[in-house]
């Protein structure tokens, strides 16, 4: 709750907080940026980061910026692809190590990323997700190349175990000379500032958003003779599936008309299957398996209550989607979740089976007595809270601010690394930074910049896709779509 009050105390959204600085700096408000979003996670992989990057890019394109996305190749999807409105995606052939994240050697990605940055005339590199090695690599190379950098952190992290300690060190090194950092909630900001030992002034909070038109309520899909609890999440430890396994038998025993609808896939599925087996709940607990994004709404609208049992969460998109579909939301009080929805739309519980059961029973009782708000009114409230246009506007302000800043030259970057990141890691990465710089000089000698063809802009001020963009409200012109297809799926690697 403390965070929420703090948010209320600052009248302008965090992106605006530096508006006074913006007016001092001689900034042209109409300045357009050439932005490259880099992350290991992008479509066809599915998840919060992926949709964040996609939606944010679309809104920035709408505002007239040029946006390209760089990610690693997914299976046969490599090369250059175009998405809606000329959003260009580079699927670079980099080796995937673990969990869709590339390996980081600090060097091997430089030639390709330099090629992308140079030919697209990128001015600003925006990396996403601290789990993505490619994002860190891109930040590192962008700073070597003298480009401005922004980083968005999408997740919370611990401090205690070995992997956290290592990742946090890497994050410290990676973020110590990054121009600006964006977090998705105040809890996430607090976490990131502590993990990476950052100056809180260069960290902004810009929440995620949902597309409210994708998640509209449809009460006719509900079965009125029963109460359905919907859970949509990956079935992994972090999402508290063990808690869910504890809740299901208790509640099903007490309420014979209670049904569970569980969407998602993961290693913890076995827990739920065991529970279902043990208590003979096959008809009342349905496991739907992995859901495609377009199917999520179809599942959500069938329920009365949305349950989220996450143990850690920077900003929970799922509960916003649930509320947007008009469901009563019950969630654990962890991470950034208390900031996400106003109190009348969410029931918060402690992350224990008992507390969650109590919370759910309260909501079930209210649902039975009919004293809950109608799905339409919940949707109306939620759809004004988080929109991508708002996110893009605030991100744009971050970009405007960053574009005016200088990128540390190599000597000062080395000083910063050694003084800021501790003796051992600092010196090590200062050495790596020097090597990276030498490698860049070598590449500039081997493949000079002037021999690289500048890419045609599909988006941005001189974007060739503009014709299609202008009549995006109507149907897009057939020729534009055909062109899209033509350029799209047939990229080959020579």
Partner 1 sequence: MQNGDPHIGMEDETYTDINGKAISLECQSHSGFCREFTVSSAKVSIGRVMVYTCAVWLSAYTIFFFTENTAVLSGAIIVTLVGMMVHIHFVKVDHETLLVIGSLGVQVSSSYASGRESTDFIEMDKIKDIVINEAIHMQRVIYYLCILLKDPTDPEGVSSVVPLFQSSKPRLNCLIKVYKSCQEILAKC
Binding site for partner 1 (CB under 8 A): 78-80, 90, 92-93, 111-112, 115-116, 119, 447-448, 451-453, 455, 485-487, 489-494
Contact 35, 67 (CB under 8 A): yes
Nearer to partner 1 (CB atom), residue 4 or residue 78: 78
Nearer to partner 1 (CB atom), residue 472 or residue 486: 486
346: helix, strand or coil = strand
Residue 471 CB, shortest distance to partner 1, in Å, is 22
Q: List helix spans (H) across 108-236.
A: 110-119, 133-144, 162-175, 186-196
Residue 112 CB, shortest distance to partner 1, in Å, is 6
Residue 45 CB, shortest distance to partner 1, in Å, is 19
Nearer to partner 1 (CB atom), residue 64 or residue 79: 79
Contact 65, 460 (CB under 8 A): yes
Nearer to partner 1 (CB atom), residue 86 or residue 336: 86
436: helix, strand or coil = helix
> How far is residue 364 from each of residues 307, 359, 425, 483, 485, measured CA to CA in Å?
12, 9, 53, 53, 49
Radius of gyration of the chain (CA): 24
Nearer to partner 1 (CB atom), residue 120 or residue 313: 120
Residue 56 β-bridge partners: none
Residue 486 CB, shortest distance to partner 1, in Å, is 6
Contact 348, 360 (CB under 8 A): no
Copy the structure tokens of residue 367.
């649902």
Residue 452 CB, shortest distance to partner 1, in Å, is 8
Task: Report the C-alpha gap between 451 and 428 in whole angstroms.
Answer: 34
Residue 282 CB, shortest distance to partner 1, in Å, is 43
Residue 444 CB, shortest distance to partner 1, in Å, is 13
Place of tokens 């019950």: 330
Phi, psi of 330 (to 5 degrees): -120, 130
Residue 125 CB, shortest distance to partner 1, in Å, is 16
Nearer to partner 1 (CB atom), residue 94 or residue 360: 94
Residue 131 CB, shortest distance to partner 1, in Å, is 24
Copy the structure tokens of residue 53.
């990057």
Nearer to partner 1 (CB atom), residue 98 or residue 445: 445
Q: Tell the burial category of 42 from Cβ atoms under 10 Å away from its Cβ (0-12, 13-18, 19+).
A: buried
Compute the C-alpha angle 301/320/338, nearest 5°: 135
Cα dihedral 92, 114, 56, 393, rounded to 10, equals: 180
Phi, psi of 149 (to 5 degrees): -130, 145
156: helix, strand or coil = coil
């Amino acid at each position: 709750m403390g965070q929420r009050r703090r948010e209320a105390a600052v009248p302008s959204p965090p992106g605006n907080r530096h508006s006074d600085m913006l007016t001092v700096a001689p900034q042209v408000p109409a300045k357009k940026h050439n932005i490259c979003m880099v992350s290991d996670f992008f479509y066809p992989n599915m998840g919060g980061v992926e949709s964040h990057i996609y939606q944010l890019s679309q809104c920035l394109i709408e505002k007239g910026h040029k946006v390209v996305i760089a990610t690693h190749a997914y299976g046969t999807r490599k090369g250059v692809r175009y998405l809606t409105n000329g959003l260009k995606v580079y699927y670079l052939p980099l080796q995937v190590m673990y969990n869709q994240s590339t390996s980081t050697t600090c060097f091997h990605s430089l030639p390709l990323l330099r090629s992308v940055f140079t030919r697209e005339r990128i001015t600003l590199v925006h990396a996403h997700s601290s789990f993505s090695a490619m994002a860190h690599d891109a930040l590192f190379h962008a700073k070597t190349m003298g480009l401005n950098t922004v980083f968005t952190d999408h997740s919370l992290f611990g401090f205690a175990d070995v992997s956290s300690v290592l990742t946090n060190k890497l994050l410290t090194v990676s973020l110590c000379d990054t121009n600006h950092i964006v977090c998705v909630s105040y809890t996430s900001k607090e976490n990131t500032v502590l993990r990476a030992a950052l100056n809180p002034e260069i960290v902004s909070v810009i929440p995620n958003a949902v597309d409210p038109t994708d998640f509209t309520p449809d009460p006719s899909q509900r079965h009125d003779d029963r109460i359905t609890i919907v859970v949509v999440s990956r079935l992994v430890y972090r999402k508290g599936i063990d808690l869910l396994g504890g809740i299901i038998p208790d509640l099903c025993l007490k309420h014979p008309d209670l049904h569970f609808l569980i969407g998602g896939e993961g290693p913890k599925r076995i827990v739920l299957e065991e529970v279902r087996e043990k208590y003979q709940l096959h008809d009342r607990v349905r496991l739907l398996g992995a859901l495609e994004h377009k199917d999520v709404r179809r599942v959500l609208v069938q329920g009365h209550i949305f349950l989220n049992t996450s143990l850690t969460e920077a900003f929970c998109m799922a509960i916003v989607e649930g509320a947007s579909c008009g469901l009563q939301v019950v969630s654990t009080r962890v991470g950034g979740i208390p900031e996400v929805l106003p109190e009348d739309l969410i029931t918060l519980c402690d992350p224990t089976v008992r507390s969650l059961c109590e919370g759910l029973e309260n909501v079930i009782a209210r649902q039975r007595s009919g004293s809950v708000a109608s799905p339409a009114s919940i949707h109306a409230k939620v759809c004004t809270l988080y929109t991508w246009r708002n996110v893009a506007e605030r991100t744009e302000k971050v970009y405007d601010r960053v574009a005016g800043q200088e990128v540390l030259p190599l000597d000062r970057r080395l000083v910063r690394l050694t003084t800021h990141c501790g003796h051992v890691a600092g010196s090590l990465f200062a050495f790596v930074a020097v090597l990276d710089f030498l490698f860049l000089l070598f590449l500039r000698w081997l493949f000079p910049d002037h021999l690289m063809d500048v890419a045609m802009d599909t988006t941005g001020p001189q974007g060739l896709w503009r014709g299609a963009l202008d009549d995006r409200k109507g149907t897009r012109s057939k020729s534009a779509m055909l062109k899209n297809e033509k350029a799209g799926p047939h990229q080959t690697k020579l």
